[in-house]
Structure 1
Amino acid sequence: MTTPETPDTLRRILDYSSRPDPYPLYAELRRTPVARQEDGSYVISTYRELADILHNPHLSSDVRNLSRPMPSVQAESTPAFINMDPPEHDRLRRMAMRHFGPPHTPGLVAGMEGDLTAIVTSLIDDFAGKEQIDVVDDFAYPFPVTVICHLLGVPREDEPRFHLWVNDIINSIDYNPKTDPKEKLDKGVQARKDLREYLGGLLEQRHGRPGEDLLTRLANDDGPDGRMTDEEIVATANLLLIAGHETTVNLITNGMLTLLRHPQVLQRLRDDPDLVVPLVEELLRYEPPVHIIPWRAAYSDIPVADTVIPKGSQIMLMLASGSRDPDRFHEPDRFDPDRQDNEHLGFGSGIHLCFGGPLARRETQIALTELVRRLDRPSLVTDPPPYRRSPVLRGPIHLHIEQGNG
């Protein structure tokens, strides 16, 4: 099903001018739950239909299943498992999860709490004497990179190089050929190459040696599924780095912005730090870090609602729209950390549910708790703040706040 206004609504959502508040446009989009676009692709925007298709085995994450190649989506020589389908996806995800969480490594995130708190404390200590700070540059950006370096086993002396590569890669994600110099894209391409070579070099040193970091564990694991190749380990490390970093930066920044816009909730969190657990879940619904899965492919004809999506079609999944669907959530445009039955789509759903979600949650919980506890009368300098260009990974590129003197 499609309507004449649907293509225009999508264009307005993707336009940068809509970045501060795309939610009224999502409401327009939901009038047509499954909408065919002029180029033959399909956009899904309502909660029920999104949840159904995310669990549909005929939905493919492999670019090779698109009937018409997309210039912006290219097959990688060794893709991360997020861009694979079963059974290869399932095998590689199981192998990664053996060292990243339950049931084989249940204490990973809990065991990192001391390190997470120490990193957050150090970053906030650096705010001393500053009347104005940028939550992104001074806090939300460096925090997850430092965590990932620790997790992967990057030597401390190499962290500055690692940070520079990540910076160039993240900048290139928002590359706009109409306004940005080509150097921005070229630096991102070179950084990806340098990072892969660097991770490959680290990996060579880890074979046959004991260690607790993720690269060492993956390099020496002989579990039920065998062992990952070095290329698969590097692809998995890149996935953790890029997806995990960008998600956490946006979640922390969107969270602080939301709290400053809801001062009563901010005060509640200051008075009751345990509120942070349901609060972060509500953030994942209300202001999620990932708004859109820009493409999936149909393995075969897929019936969704009253539409049949033909085999090979590109499918765009509007996750943030689904999490604001009034047919699923009571008063969806209200930020409510006491919300019950909050099965949001903030980290996706189905077989590709974000495997780093538990770590991102805990990072954000610690970050927001400490920011609220230690900042002195914080207030926004600019509202809305400037946003990143990407409609997919949506969050402020800067979030300047002022704090008091006493």
Structure 2
Amino acid sequence: MHDAFRQILDPVGRADPYRYFGALRDEPVARQEDGSYVVSTYREIVALLHDPRVSSDRRNLGDGGSVSPELPVSFIGLDPPEHDRLRRLAMRHFGPPHAPGTVERLRPHMLEITTGLIDALAGRNRADLVDEVAYPLPVAVICRLLGVPQEDEPHFHALADEIIETLGPGEEDRAERERARQEKGLELARYLRGLAEARGREPREDMLSGLIADGGMTTQEVVATSVLLLIAGHETTINLIANGMLTFLRHPELLVRLREEPRLIIPAVEELLRYEPPVQFISSRVALDDIQIAGTTIPAGSPIVLAVAAGSRDPAHLADPDGFHLDRPRNEHLGFGGGAHYCFGAPLARLEAQIVLNELIRRLRNPRLVADPPPYRPSAVLRGPRHLLVDFDEVVG
């Protein structure tokens, strides 16, 4: 395994993987001992994200890539035209052209929840911003949007956490991780199947009911889409919010400027998606044919790992990539991937992060980190603090 890639995956270096990115990019396409290829430079990653010879279907892997026939495959793990059909049906209830106002209509609800979470910190001088703010908001929003009872949250969150911890690339225990992912995925799918069947009998005003009523998806496809939205709809946003507050607290001048110019929270979130992205790797790609790129041939059947966090900090792509700049004139990042699989939930994640970060900056007086670095979650793929303890003088109205 490439030494830099091994160091990035090592939990010991989870707090600062970026110090290894330069060495990783020195070999833009690097073959690993397990036969996978890690791609780490911006231009090459973008090319592969748009290359039809690169599959997102794990069933095209020759070793251990098969999935249980009981386990539904979501459209994120399929290729066109099936991917396009299912994504289009899901988007009918989420965004344009059929539902252009869905995300924006959630704004008052998001602000109300955020206000209540921050109000609950009043009278104290310390809080864990992950457990008390960054986590509860996206969970409440995705539950409301999809139609999952929020009282079931502890159950599905535990399963989602366990599934995510199986996603890391490069480890030697790939077969074991596949087995664990299938086991936990099946448990989550069974829960959502029961919920889908209940919505079929008694529809409500939620996305799950809409997907069933449309009739364009089978029950299996509805369940697969729901699993995807439930996991992706909150896990990545938690990290985006937590990484954002950590970055701002490390740069007090950013806090001052954002407090004085709240409108800058929009470019601030875009820069966070580049500088501290919640998704560091896309590790589920497979070469369908021999692919020549950056002087290397990736053989057909090989797993491909796209190091999108390294690509977004590629000095060949933009100036001062390791600096955080609110005023970047063109911030073309890989924070939401790209190509046909560009993040389905990007509009929702952007709005949630903008609202929560803006309110935390505005209402916490003199916030400061208790520990730097904070403890991190184990995953190298979905990277973010497990906890973010912050001291502050008071909560203002």
Scaled by the length of structure 1, the TM-score of the pair is 0.90
Determine the structure 1 residue equivalent to 2:206. Answer: 213
Is residue 2:63 matched to residue 1:68? yes
Aligned residue for 2:381, secondary structure, equals coil
Higher mean Cα deviation, 21-30 or 35-44?
35-44
Is residue 2:277 matched to residue 1:300? no
Shift of 1:204: 2.2
Determine the structure 2 residue equivalent to 1:173. Answer: 164
Aligned residue for 1:38, secondary structure, equals coil
Please give the per-residue CA displacement for 1:1-23, whole angstroms capped at 9, x wherever unaligned: xxxxx712211111111111111
Q: Residue 165 of structure 1 contacts residue 191 of structure 1 at CA under 8 Å; is this kept in 2?
A: no
Please give the per-residue CA displacement for 1:51-85, whole angstroms capped at 9, x wherever unaligned: 00000000011112113335xx7456321111111
Determine the structure 2 residue equivalent to 1:15. Answer: 10
Is residue 2:143 matched to residue 1:154? no
Q: 1:105 to 1:376 in 2, by over 3 A?
A: same
Determine the structure 2 residue equivalent to 1:383. Answer: 372
Unaligned runs of 5+ in 2: 172-177
Q: 1:314 to 1:220 in 2, by over 3 A?
A: same
Q: Residue 78 of structure 1 contacts residue 235 of structure 1 at CA under 8 Å; is this kept in 2?
A: yes
Q: 1:28 to 1:190 in 2, by over 3 A?
A: closer
Q: What is the aligned counterpart of 1:341 among 306, 320, 330?
A: 330
Q: Residue 243 of structure 2 contacts residue 278 of structure 2 at CA under 8 Å; is this kept in 1?
A: yes
Q: What is the aligned counterpart of 2:119 among 125, 128, 139?
A: 125
Determine the structure 2 residue equivalent to 1:141. Answer: 135
Task: Report 1:16-55 matches (<5 A).
Answer: 16-55=11-50
Shift of 1:153: 1.9
Determine the structure 2 residue equivalent to 1:113. Answer: 107
Unaligned runs of 5+ in 1: 1-5, 179-184
Aligned residues: 385
Q: 1:61 to 1:143 in 2, by over 3 A?
A: same
Q: 1:174 to 1:63 in 2, by over 3 A?
A: closer
Q: Residue 163 of structure 2 contacts residue 185 of structure 2 at CA under 8 Å; is this kept in 1?
A: no
Distance 1:172 1:385 in 2: 23
Aligned residue for 2:365, secondary structure, equals coil
Higher mean Cα deviation, 261-270 or 6-15?
6-15
Aligned-pair Cα RMSD in Å: 2.2
Q: 1:65 to 1:197 in 2, by over 3 A?
A: closer
Q: 1:190 to 1:32 in 2, by over 3 A?
A: closer
Determine the structure 2 residue equivalent to 1:404. Answer: 393
Q: Residue 64 of structure 1 contacts residue 75 of structure 1 at CA under 8 Å; is this kept in 2?
A: no
**1:230 partner letter:** T
Distance 2:303 2:189 in 1: 29
Please give the per-residue CA displacement for 1:149-191, whole angstroms capped at 9, x wherever unaligned: 1101234xxx222233213431453379x9xxxxxx9999776
Q: What is the aligned counterpart of 2:244 among 240, 255, 270?
A: 255
Determine the structure 2 residue equivalent to 1:273. Answer: 262
| Percent identity between the two aligned chains | 54
Q: 1:167 to 1:38 in 2, by over 3 A?
A: closer
Please give the per-residue CA displacement for 1:271-307, whole angstroms capped at 9, x wherever unaligned: 1111111110000000000001123100111111211
Aligned residue for 2:214, secondary structure, equals coil
Q: Residue 166 of structure 2 contacts residue 181 of structure 2 at CA under 8 Å; is this kept in 1?
A: no
Shift of 1:93: 0.5
Please give the per-residue CA displacement for 1:193-252, whole angstroms capped at 9, x wherever unaligned: 454333223322333766431011111115xxxx11111111111101112211100000
Q: Residue 166 of structure 1 contacts residue 191 of structure 1 at CA under 8 Å; is this kept in 2?
A: no
Is residue 2:94 matched to residue 1:94? no
Q: 1:400 to 1:186 in 2, by over 3 A?
A: farther
Is residue 2:140 matched to residue 1:164? no
Aligned residue for 1:110, secondary structure, equals helix
Q: What is the aligned counterpart of 2:52 among 40, 43, 57?
A: 57
**1:360 partner letter:** A
Q: Residue 170 of structure 1 contacts residue 188 of structure 1 at CA under 8 Å; is this kept in 2?
A: no
Q: 1:186 to 1:43 in 2, by over 3 A?
A: closer
Distance 1:353 1:11 in 2: 27
Determine the structure 1 residue equivalent to 2:175. Answer: none
**1:52 partner letter:** A
Distance 2:196 2:302 in 1: 38
Is residue 2:318 matched to residue 1:324? no
Scaled by the length of structure 2, the TM-score of the pair is 0.92
Q: Residue 68 of structure 1 contacts residue 312 of structure 1 at CA under 8 Å; is this kept in 2?
A: no
Distance 1:231 1:119 in 2: 32
